[in-house]
Structure 1
Amino acid sequence: MLNKNAIKEVLDISLPAVGESTLYTFMSIFDTMMIGKYGGSIAVSVVGISNEILNTCVNIFIVVGISIGITSFVSRSIGAKEKSSAQEYASIGFFLGILISIFLCYILFKFSRNILFLAGAKGKILDLSNTFTKITVIAIFFNMITNVINSILRGYGNTYIPFLIAAFITIVKLFLDVILIFGIIVPELGIMGAAIASICSQAAGFIAVLIYFIKESHVKIKLRYIFGLKISKIRNILLLSIPSSMEDAAFGLSRLLCTFIIMHSGNTAFASNQIANTIESISFMPGMGFGVAATTLVGMKVGEKNYKKAREYTYLCAIGAVLMMGFFSAVFLIMPGILVNLFIDEEEKKIIYLASLCLFIGAFEQPSIAISTVFSSALKGAGDAKTPLIVSLMTSWIIRLPLIFYFIHFLRFSVIYVWWVTVIQWGVDAILMFILFEKKLNSRNKLLVSKFIRY
């Protein structure tokens, strides 16, 4: 029988996280819609290839990198009733996050044209993407620091404030998009207006969350922990953050390489895939939100050495994610064409047809993505980022990339084969994550029992 208190605790943490992720996705969707309506498939390709590169880098190094390390150690410290340890990990993690963000932004700004060229951008698309990327890098810096602060808040179960910050950023971004892209009141700036809107909205969000964090956060950043850095604490964070980053890198870079392969197939294939990905991305939000809850709650229960409760929370998070993402499966099956038409003019019938087929196929991978995301997040909450890394390496580089290269680059098949490959990839990924989570928790529980018996 399901525990009502456990369900309430899961929902209290996961629903604001789902809302936060959903808001950011809607922001990206409406942003893409406005850009598509303004400049058609060329504008979508310009912004799409740039955002794909920038978001991949941010996710690898910050969102599922240093931020996961911070959340895991803060939550386990809170679970073990060691607040000073939580604040030390938060302080060191924040410092590391700033250093990583500065370095990453410098690389992205300095070598943007080279990276875009390697991605397959050429001619007008390369020139516009380069300018767009250099402007957007400023917004990315504020976004990364905001993510680091949010990871500290999530570590002690506060997902409500990151949700409110996401709502604030989304409102500012979309408001400025309308004004700057289409030239309402001010001169028409097109896709560069979207980049400027990103800078303003992300900077405003960073200032807002920083003010809250300084005044109200339960876990504070202490300068004494930054000035007196302990190598052991840095090592602990990095030993969890690096495998977590590498897991997302394994997936993100394979996806990026697949994007490059699709880009070389032509603008029609790339724009179709990009639009379908943008629409599908909203369905990932429940998985991400319940994944955040799994990381936090499992971390706390592992800190308490209550492995039975950790398993219960993980299963509840998985059930919630599957149910919510199953709803999106039904939507993608029933009305893919209607959704695609929101993003592109009716004249571009080939893109509408291909994107609709891709989205229809994407419906079949939703439950697997939900299971994979939650059990991977639960493993990280328990302090194990190596297992998700190994699984991601296998499914991304042994299944996804070789098959897409074979069907799209070698056989020159339609872009819809990319989506059938990902259905297979996520199915294998979900099965492996579930099995290895059970194995991990059983081994932890047996170790605890053996220590109790010896005592």
Structure 2
Amino acid sequence: MERRKVYKDVLKLALPAVGEMLLYMTIWILDTLMVGQYGGRVSLSAVSLGGELLYTFISIFVTMGIAVAMTSLISRKLGEGDLKSANEYANVGVYIGSSMTLVFFIVFNRFSGGLLEAAGAKGQVLEEGSLYLSICSWAMLFTMGRHLLNAILRGEQNTRVPLYSSAIMMVTNLSLDYLLIFGIGIFPELGVRGAAIATVASGVAAFIYTLHYVQTKDGIRISLKYIYLIREKSVEMIKLALPASFQEASSSLSRLLVVFMIMRSGEINFSANQIAVTTESLSFMPGWGFAVASTTMAGFKYGEKKYRELKEVVRANLELSMMIMGGTAVIFLIFPERLVSLFIKSDEVEVIRLAALCIRIGAFEQLQLAVTMVLDGVLKGIGDTRTPFIISATSAWLIRVPLASLIFFVLKLPIYYMWYAQVVQWTIHAGVIYYVYRKRIAEIIEVEKGLEVEELIEDSR
């Protein structure tokens, strides 16, 4: 393929996905900013901890589990020209994902207080966090449903509609945040409750838009007529989804465990870390957009058996994602205090100091994160969800968690030492996954050469 065309194709698919991630980041940042400005570190800790629990489980079981399997299967089937099978896998994925959504809604709605207490929340943080989590469990129903529909669209190389639905979510969420948290005009001042209500309303609005598009304008339709295929099609889907879910579970649960360690080390440490993580999303959210493009494009090229073009697509995604994330790394190095001060009251001097240190250290993990995200997406796109799981689990549980335990329980060091540990973790992770990708792509190209030789022999006959 001509190199310019490769970049054009990548950007056509990746830019809407990057835009979608930037909108999510904007929601997260401004939501955190408004809650922090309204209630200080107590409300910030309550909302951050409740959101961390909720979205960890959404990611494990839907966003990075069944949705990844759906995108991979749909893109490969469409690459093979098999629209019928793509439709069947899309519907079976929605059936499975919807059942899981209902179970988790009941758990989070009924046991919000117990879950937060187990995480180490106490006093006002526990009270406000329980309220936030129980209300936001209603948003889970619609958010998880939208992620399933987005998985179908991405499998069809449509990243525009997920972008538009995210824009609807952003406008609805932030407008209601402002009105309901602070009580503007005729609206009551609801604080954390207002932030939760805004989350639910925005989730409903975005889901309705996405569902309407899929059912009226898309090549794939959601219908109960495929229900009889659950037994037949779910085996292959679950075979792909389980390693992807286990990977996200391994990564998210290890991250959540570290968050609990940080919470127990003190509210100042916890608030500083949450602000630093939110700020860092300026970088890794766009990187995740290129990872989405990598999964879809790799799946299509693999289905079409165009393996050399697959390699070119991966190279373009890597170069572009590293360029963007490298640029934000420079910003993190130069302006960390200015970025951090947006999220918390100016009198929280120690929180600002610690968060700025974390961000400056985090600049040195951005290129490794870019490599990890893109190559992880490529392997999943070609149907290998097992290898990313093994690498991620090893990275999380043999590097991240032991180092966190050492830092907080043995040495009792400040929060920024955890960010040094993360730089070590992502450097090793990126090196291993790059080695595996190079080995796998070499094997795939050898297969292509073999196919070409067979075709020449057949032609000569």
- Please give the range of the TM-score, normalised by the shorter of the 2 chains: over 0.9
Over 3 Å counting, the alpha-carbon distance change for 1:369 and 1:275 in structure 2 is same
Alpha carbons 1:92, 1:225 under 8 Å: kept: yes
How large is the RMSD of aligned CA atoms in angstroms?
Answer: 1.3
Question: What aligned pairs does 1:144-163 form with structure 2 within 5 A after superposition?
Answer: 144-163=144-163
Matches of 2:301 and 2:187, distance apart in 1: 53
Q: Distance in 2 between matches of 1:404 and 1:250?
A: 15
Which runs of structure 2 are paired with 1:144-223 in the superposition (5 Å)?
Answer: 144-184=144-184, 185-223=186-224
Q: Distance in 1 between matches of 2:230 and 2:114?
A: 38
Aligned to 2:239: 239
Indicate conservation of the 8 Å contact 1:88/1:222, yes or no: no
**Is this contact kept in 2: 1:336–1:359, CA < 8 A?**
yes
Q: Which amino acid aligns with 1:214?
A: Q
Structure 2, unmatched stretches of 5+, are: none
Partner of residue 92, structure 2:
92
Deviation of the 1:223 alpha carbon: 2.9
TM-score (ref. length: structure 1): 0.98
Q: Which moved more, 1:434-443 or 1:299-308?
A: 434-443
SS of structure 2 residue aligned to 1:246 = helix
Q: How does 1:174-323 map to 2 (within 5 A)?
A: 174-184=174-184, 185-226=186-227, 228-323=228-323
After superposition, the C-alpha distances for 1:187-209 in whole angstroms (9 at most, x for unaligned) are: 10001100001111110111111
- After superposition, the C-alpha distances for 1:218-248 in whole angstroms (9 at most, x for unaligned) are 222343222x215342111111111011111
- Counterpart check, 1:102 vs 2:67: no
Q: Deviations over 1:402-434 (max 9, x none)?
A: 001101121100100110000111111111111
Q: Can you list the C-alpha shifts for 1:128-166, whole angstroms capped at 9, x where unaligned? A: 111110000101211110010011001010000100110
Structure 1 runs (4+) deviating above 6 angstroms are none
Q: CA deviation at 1:309?
A: 1.1
Q: Could you tell me how far apart the structure 2 residues matched to 1:250 and 1:93 are?
A: 22
Alignment pair present for 1:4 and 2:4:
yes
Match of 2:25 in 1: 25
**Cα deviation, residue 448, structure 1:** 4.4
Identity %: 40
Distance in structure 2 (CA, Å) of the matches to 1:241 and 1:20: 23
- Within a 5 Å distance, the mapping from 1:330-349 to structure 2 comes to 330-349=330-349
**Secondary structure of the corresponding residue to residue 330 of structure 2:** helix
Match of 1:372 in 2: 372
Question: Letter of the aligned partner of 1:204 in structure 2?
Answer: A
- Determine if contact 1:72/1:155 at 8 Å carries over to the other structure: yes
Offset from partner CA, 1:262-317 (integer Å, 9 cap, x none): 00000000000011111111211221110000000000011011111111111111
Q: What TM-score, normalized to structure 2?
A: 0.96
List per-residue Cα deviations over 1:335-368 (Å, max 9, x = no partner).
Answer: 0000111111111100010000001101110110
Q: Which range moved further: 210-219 or 104-113? A: 104-113
Do the aligned partners of 2:254 and 2:396 also contact (CA within 8 Å) in 1? yes
Native 8 Å contact 1:329 1:364 kept in 2: yes
SS of alignment partner, residue 277 of structure 2: helix
Q: Measure how far apart 1:449 and its partner are.
A: 3.8
Higher deviation after alignment, 239-248 or 103-112: 103-112
CA distance in 1, matches of 2:433, 2:373: 9
Partners of 1:450 and 1:366 in 2: CA distance: 38
Name the aligned partner's letter for residue 207 of structure 1: I
Answer whether contact 1:408 1:417 (CA < 8 A) is retained. Answer: no
**Cα deviation per residue 1:358-406 (whole Å; 9 max; x = unaligned)?**
0110111011001000000000000000000000011100000000110
Q: Which residue of 2 aligns with 1:361?
A: 361
Aligned residues: 454
Task: Please state whether the residue corresponding to 2:229 is helix, strand or coil.
Answer: coil
